[in-house]
Amino acid sequence: MKKVRWGLVSTARINRRFIPAVRESKRGELVAVASRTLEKAQSYADEWGIPQAFGSYQDMFDSGEVDAVYVSLPNRLHASLSIQALNSGMHVLCEKPFAVTVDDVDAMFEAGKKNGRNIAEAFMYRHHTQCKKIGELIAAGKLGEVTSLSASFSFPITTEAVGGKRNVRLESELGGGAVWDVGVYPISLAQFVFGGPPEQVWGVQNSQFEIDMNFAAQMSYRGGRTAHFTCSFDTAFQTRAEIRGTLGRLELTRPFTGPHDPEGSILLFDRAGNSEKIEIDEEYLYLGEVRDMNDAILDGTPNFLTADETRNHIKTALALYQSAKENRIVTL
């Protein structure tokens, strides 16, 4: 195999960010898209210049034309379709959140092992040069001992039905909710910075349509370290993060969507409050996750995001939902 032949599982809107990454990658090519009807798949293929269209996901898996698939279905369908793909011989890059139960996470990775196929969570920002630079600065001691983190990720969603359907992010039966959609980013960042999941969590949510529209979370880690985040579907767009330590702090204005848009920056402050702008090598935000999977398939290298990291993302999110529901601190 000289290049990984990629197929899209669904015609989801997020694909428009993923497609350029596959086409930019040197070791992958986009060859197919599948939907629930051939008409829809063919229309999408024509729009995006994709060579092949399939009227069912299984038809694409069985075609012999695809090596790896990108699963971008609604959250609650991630597990079943990923396992179906793995059992059909596909490698799988599954959009975050990987699943909405820990049992599903375990079943997905087990299916990968059983079939000798790679499966990984598509957390694009974790592969990006900005996130890797954060790790380098922390490892170099620029912040001293990291003590706390705060972050936010919010954007407004139209709650009115369009064409008889509401946004899938608002549908509880499909795994909707602010934490599952954007709260998992600060959960992931905190785990990356602190090197593991929290010991205890506390969460508060405001609900509508049986999902969380707004969520505030407090997470505590070993050694008295803490993380706080907010996420929302009904406030103005914002994504920021601050990582604080005994010797300095980092401010990121685009921690999850990349530093190279007009509002993006990363500043390093020393203990006295003097700031230094940190330059980040420019790279398309979604390229790293595609390159990682291509290398895993073609070279046999481990995927950058481990099963333990992904499992802890889901475990933490579920603990926060439990905390909000039961109005108490939950120990992981």
Contact 252, 241 (CB under 8 A): yes
Instruction: Tell me how far CA of residue 193 lies from CA of 102, 273, 308, in angstroms.
Output: 22, 21, 15
Task: Say what the pLDDT of residue 163 is.
Answer: 72
| Helix or strand (DSSP H, E) at 110 | helix 102-115
Task: Say what the pLDDT of residue 66 is.
Answer: 98
What is the arithmetic mean of pLDDT over 175-195? Answer: 97
Instruction: Clarify whether residues 188 and 130 are in a common domain.
Output: yes
In a domain, 297, yes or no: no
Strand partners, 151: 229, 241
Q: 104, 122, 140 — which closes off a domain?
A: 122
Domain extent at residue 183: 126-286+315-331
Number of folded domains that form the chain = 2
Instruction: Clarify whether residues 146 and 279 are in a common domain.
Output: yes
Q: What percent of the chain has pLDDT over 90?
A: 92
Can you tell me which residue has the tokens 């699963």?
A: 71
In a domain, 295, yes or no: no
Instruction: Clarify whether residues 145 and 231 are in a common domain.
Output: yes
Q: What percent of the chain has pLDDT over 70?
A: 100
Task: Say what the pLDDT of residue 262 is.
Answer: 78
Mean pLDDT of the residues in the chain = 96
- Tell me the pLDDT tens digit for each residue of 59-103: 999 999 999 999 999 999 999 999 999 999 999 999 999 999 999
What is the arithmetic mean of pLDDT over 165-169? Answer: 88
300 backbone dihedrals φ, ψ, rounded to 5°: 75, 15
Q: Is 332 helix (H, G, I), strand (E, B) or coil?
A: coil
CATH code of the domain covering residue 203: 3.30.360.10
Task: Say what the pLDDT of residue 313 is.
Answer: 95
In a domain, 309, yes or no: no
Cis bond leading into 97, ω under 30°?
yes
Q: 107, 122, 137 — which closes off a domain?
A: 122
Neighbours of 54 (CB within 10 A): 24
* Confidence label for 162 from pLDDT (cuts 50, 70 and 90): confident
Instruction: Clarify whether residues 37 and 153 are in a common domain.
Output: no
Instruction: Tell me how far CA of residue 106 lies from CA of 22, 63, 98, 114, in angstroms.
Output: 27, 27, 11, 12
Q: 88, 103, 122 — which closes off a domain?
A: 122
What is the arithmetic mean of pLDDT over 17-25? Answer: 98
pLDDT surpassing 80 at residue 164 = no
pLDDT surpassing 80 at residue 323 = yes
Task: Say what the pLDDT of residue 315 is.
Answer: 98
Instruction: Tell me how far CA of residue 76 lies from CA of 8, 100, 119, 179, 231, in angstroms.
Output: 17, 6, 17, 14, 20
Strand partners, 211: 208
Please give the span between the terminal C-alpha atoms of the chain, in angstroms, as a whole number.
43
Instruction: Clarify whether residues 132 and 112 are in a common domain.
Output: no
* Confidence label for 160 from pLDDT (cuts 50, 70 and 90): confident
Tell me which of 226-235, 257-266, 315-324 is least confident. 257-266
- Tell me the pLDDT tens digit for each residue of 233-283: 999 999 999 999 999 999 999 999 888 877 888 999 999 999 999 999 889
Instruction: Clarify whether residues 118 and 130 are in a common domain.
Output: no
Instruction: Clarify whether residues 213 and 117 are in a common domain.
Output: no
Q: Is 92 helix (H, G, I), strand (E, B) or coil?
A: strand
The span from the CA of 89 to the CA of 102, in Å, is 23
Q: Is 318 helix (H, G, I), strand (E, B) or coil?
A: helix
Q: Is 209 helix (H, G, I), strand (E, B) or coil?
A: coil
Task: Say what the pLDDT of residue 189 is.
Answer: 98
CATH code of the domain covering residue 25: 3.40.50.720
